[in-house]
Amino acid sequence: EIVLAQSPGTLSLSPGERATLSCRASQSVSSNYLAWYQQRPGQAPRLLIYDASSRATGIPDRFSGSGSGTDFTLTITRLEPEDFAFYYCQQYGSSPLTFGGGTKVEIK
Amino acid sequence: QVQLVQSGAEVKKPGSSVKVSCKASGGNFRNFAINWVRQAPGQGLEWVGGIIPVFGTTEYAQQLQDRVTITADEYRSTAYMELTSLRSDDTGLYFCARVPLPAAMRAYFDLWGRGTLVTVS
């Protein structure tokens, strides 16, 4: 089973700042099959990025994904008020599907 | 526009079973896998398992495979997740989620239901 470690656990930033979230896998993720989701309180997760760097439909271009192998990054270039939420990475290159423990992006 | 509509909240006793439904309204149901993901209160996301309705093939998380069964009714465009021998640590939100790639079990999820709260107490 591939274990995904997300860091930091909490990121305290101000609107307009840049956010950099990390997701590190315990072994290489096949074909860079890694996704990122945003989850606001009381809501279902929303797909942001798939295949490590492809933006999902309707996702603003301030969200970008990068990385390969075992190290992946989600970058939010300029935080908007609605971006303060939890973020999860997920790998789907091998079974079982696994999620990271999440990063909370909170208002500083 | 496709939506996934889940059944309502459930309160169950330890040792009992629960069956949660997920109906796809609009769009093709049978060719796209439906997966289930759960979230304990204040915790992260955990994959439970999935099904490709047109084939009936299923996959389950190893730690739950003795207690979970996922089925699909193509005519009702509805997927079901049944969990037996419920314990207090099964309490949480259960989401259904769709894979947008035809006939692929394992991928990312582009469409999610709102979640069904299952409380075991």
What would the 3-class secondary structure string for chain A be?
Answer: CCCEEEECCEEEECCCCCEEEEEEECCCCHHHCEEEEEECCCCCCEEEEECCCEECCCCCCCEEEEEECCEEEEEECCCCHHHCCEEEEEECCCCCCEECCCEEEEEC
Query: Which residues from chain A sit within 8 angstroms of residue B106, using beta carbons?
Result: 92, 95, 97
How confident is the model over B7-36, as pLDDT tens digits?
A: 999 999 999 999 999 999 987 788 899 999
Using CA atoms, how far apart are residues A17 and B109, in angstroms rounded to an integer?
Answer: 28
pLDDT tens figures, B79-98: 999 999 999 999 999 999 99
Question: Does the distance separating the beta carbons of B59 and A90 come in below 8 Å?
Answer: no
pLDDT at site B7: 98
Residue A9 carries which side chain, given as an amino acid letter? Answer: G
Residues A50-94 pLDDT 10s: 999 999 999 999 999 999 999 999 999 999 999 999 999 999 999
A-chain residues near B62 (CB < 8 A): 96
Q: Is pLDDT of B53 > 90?
A: yes
Check residue B1 and give its pLDDT.
80
pLDDT for B30: 85
Length of chain B: 121
Nearest chain A Cα distance for residue B73, angstroms: 24
At A5-45, the pLDDT tens digits run 999 999 999 999 999 999 999 999 999 999 999 999 999 99
A8 touches chain B (CB under 8 A): no
Residues A40-55 pLDDT 10s? 999 999 999 999 999 9
Q: How far is B35 from chain A (nearest CA, A)?
A: 10
How much is the pLDDT for B107? 96
Residues of chain A contacting B112 with CB distance shorter than 8 Å: 44-46
